[in-house]
A and B are shown apart, each in its own frame.
Chain A
Amino acid sequence: MTEERFIHYMKTEQESLRRFLLGLCQGNADMADDIAQEALVRAYVASGTFMGLAKFRTWLFRIAYNCYIDRLRTKDHTSISTASDEALSIPGTYDADESFRYQQLYFALDKLSEKEKACVVLHYFEDRSLKEISSILQIPLGTVKYHLSMGRQHLKQLLQ
């Protein structure tokens, strides 16, 4: 893949990628952007090996998800959950920043397992098909359906 083509794809997919990571990081925009940049740089380095066997978008999201998991492993997980806990403690007013509109959702997402969260974020925020999610997360289709169903059930309880 040529550099120009990579930059073109990157510009097309960056918003979607950042939104996916924003969902995973419970609204922590700095962290999401940081992981997105890391994923794009990794993808750029490995772009020579991209043979077009999968969609570029799927490939890029898989790298991003791996970066996110790496970040969780290396950094203390509390650094992510604290953001949503703090957000929840701030009184929500009509004039408050737009991001606080999502505090309840982010708080609920934080309580899901990583796989459930990823499935929910990809399916409902990014409108990805189950097959594509299975390819991004590298898990069987049946497992995606299971995680999605469990995620919905947990969110239902948490948001009530």
Chain B
Amino acid sequence: MAYLAQLGALADELVASLAAAALDTAEGRKRQAADRESALRGIRFHSFLGTNQFDVEDQLKGFDERFRVIGRESLADALSERLAALDPHRNKWTPDVLRFILELADQPAQKSDLRN
């Protein structure tokens, strides 16, 4: 029960951060409640498998190679530098967090800008 309450609180924060509807209207409140329900359903009932940390490492290596092949060495260096810096902070959740980040990667070879 405590777990669900904590998950619910985090889902509230996530909805507020990503889909913040105007809460001063009845429509906005209804929308936010629906978003929260849908988010909780999405994270509780799914058919995804657990994270394979070797797949995650392969995918990160793949990005490094792709960046270098297209001449974006600075991006590849920045990525490997950050991954090395992450090493002392690694825990059992790190592969899952990296998996999450990889899922949201949006054509970094073409679109990433280091000035950001």
A binds B: no
